[in-house]
Amino acid sequence: MPQATTCPECKQGDVISISMNVSGRDLAFSTCHACEAKWWHRDGEQIVLSDVIETVVRT
């Protein structure tokens, strides 16, 4: 799956993505250098922070 390199918030596109594996789930954290927007993906779907916590807590 291609990584998004353009920030959906400011469209400036200085995005850093970190992928990790949590209990078999593919979690990816992305943050924008320009506007500090942060977002998460799990198994390729965008999720909110509470979903991330739920995934980690279920471990």
Q: How many CB atoms lie within 10 A of CB 28?
A: 19
Rounded-to-integer distance, Cα 46 and Cα 40, Å: 6
Burial class (CB in 10 A: 0-12, 13-18, 19+), 7: buried
Give the total of residues touching Zn ion (CB under 5 A): 7
> Least distance in Å: CB of 4 to Zn ion?
11
37 binds Zn ion (CB under 5 A): yes
4 binds Zn ion (CB under 5 A): no
28 binds Zn ion (CB under 5 A): no
> Least distance in Å: CB of 35 to Zn ion?
3
